[in-house]
């Protein structure tokens, strides 16, 4: 019987079950696995499932039985792909499972920042509204996104899905290709500086690579409109966090929403945690991908990857 282990099941949610994986072999489930525990836990297993646990030459060398690594993610940066290739270890990822979830979270972040629901909810529940002399309260003005320009950085699968919703709200769409290779005749392609200058809303849906690392620095953020909202749902490291804190403190941009950070969990001394006007910044702990439906799709796709491997017809093979 094939032996399967999951190294960081806690990252998939305690509300998930792994019955599909249990049907494929003997399953060992670990909530979290620290770097010093990896080698011992993967030893004797045929299939290793990892979300963010690093698998490299030092720990894989201790487990010669491993023939398949299943990533509970799309990205492969935590796997030594060259070593896996040398040892003929197959690596499979999962793509596309989280698109609806990320799109939904993109707009949740936007409207939280734009319409200040936390402030207005508090205004009512602290009974200030009960003492008002008028029927409404306009302390936090907001603007419509209809007719505004939405700039997309990274027009891949998720970016295109965000665009379709933005268009339904009546937005004008422009995009910047971080690789320079993505050309889409349906939307206007512009250089980064033009996108920053023209956009009222900017959302990032790009991977972290040599083209995107530190893409948005203080000098770039200065190009944005004073009311513009910046959303990063791509990867931490694309936006320089110290520079973003400075831009927010100097009121160079209207607001920012981040679901991804350079270090996850966030470091306690991160300047974003102490900006002058915290209501201008929304940070969520890398949850855009994680609707219940998306996590169920993810586990199902992992099961299909393992099943395909066992049947000699692998799916989503990276290596």
Residues marked as catalytic: 235, 264, 286
* Alpha carbon separation from 247 to 196, 230, 256, 292, 307 (Å, rounded): 14, 11, 10, 35, 49
Whether residue 148 has a cis bond before it, omega within 30° of 0: no
C-beta of residue 228 within 8 angstroms of C-beta of residue 254: yes
Q: Do the beta carbons of residue 276 and residue 251 sit within 8 Å? A: no
Q: Whole-angstrom Cα distance, residue 71 to residue 76?
A: 7
What is the C-alpha separation between 136 and 118, in angstroms, rounded?
16
The Cα 319–Cα 317 span in angstroms is: 6
Report the C-alpha gap between 265 and 255 in whole angstroms: 22
Which residues have C-beta within 8 Å of that of residue 75, sequence separation ≥ 6? 93, 207
The token pair at 74 is 């799309």
Q: Which residue has the tokens 């646990």?
A: 53
Are the beta carbons of 63 and 42 closer than 8 angstroms?
yes
Q: Taking a C-beta distance cutoff of 8 angstroms, is the pair 211, 169 a contact? A: no
Q: For residue 156, count CB atoms less than 10 angstroms from its CB and return exposed for 0-12, middle for 13-18, buried for 19 or more.
A: middle
Distance in angstroms (rounded) separating the CA atoms of residues 173 and 163: 7
């Amino acid at each position: 019987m094939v032996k399967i282990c999951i190294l960081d099941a806690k990252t998939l949610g305690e509300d998930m079950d792994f019955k599909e994986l249990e049907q494929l072999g003997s399953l060992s489930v670990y909530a979290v696995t620290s770097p010093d525990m990896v080698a011992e836990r993967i030893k004797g297993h045929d299939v290793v499932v990892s979300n963010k646990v690093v698998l490299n030459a030092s720990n894989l060398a201790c487990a010669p039985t491993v023939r398949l690594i299943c990533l509970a993610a799309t990205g492969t940066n935590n796997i030594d792909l060259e070593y896996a290739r040398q040892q003929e270890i197959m690596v499979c990822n999962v793509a596309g499972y989280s698109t609806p979830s990320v799109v939904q979270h993109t707009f949740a972040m936007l409207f939280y920042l734009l319409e200040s629901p936390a402030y207005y909810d508090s205004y009512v529940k602290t009974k200030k509204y009960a003492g008002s002399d008028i029927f409404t309260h306009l302390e936090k003005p907001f603007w419509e996104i209809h007719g505004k320009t939405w700039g997309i950085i990274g027009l891949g699968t998720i970016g295109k899905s965000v665009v379709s919703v933005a268009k339904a709200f009546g937005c004008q769409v422009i995009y910047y290709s971080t690789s320079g290779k993505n050309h889409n005749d349906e939307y206007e392609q512009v250089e980064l500086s033009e996108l920053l200058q023209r956009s009222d809303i900017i959302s990032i849906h790009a991977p972290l690579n040599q083209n995107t690392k530190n893409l948005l620095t203080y000098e770039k953020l200065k190009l944005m409109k004073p009311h513009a909202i910046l959303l990063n749902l791509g990867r931490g490291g694309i936006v320089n966090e110290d520079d973003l804190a400075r831009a927010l403190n100097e009121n160079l941009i209207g607001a920012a929403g981040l679901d991804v950070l350079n270090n996850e969990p966030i470091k306690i001394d991160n300047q974003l945690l102490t900006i002058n006007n915290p209501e201008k910044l929304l940070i969520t702990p890398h949850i855009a991908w994680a609707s219940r439906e998306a996590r169920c799709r993810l586990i199902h796709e992992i099961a299909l990857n393992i099943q395909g491997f066992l049947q000699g017809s692998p799916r989503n093979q990276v290596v």
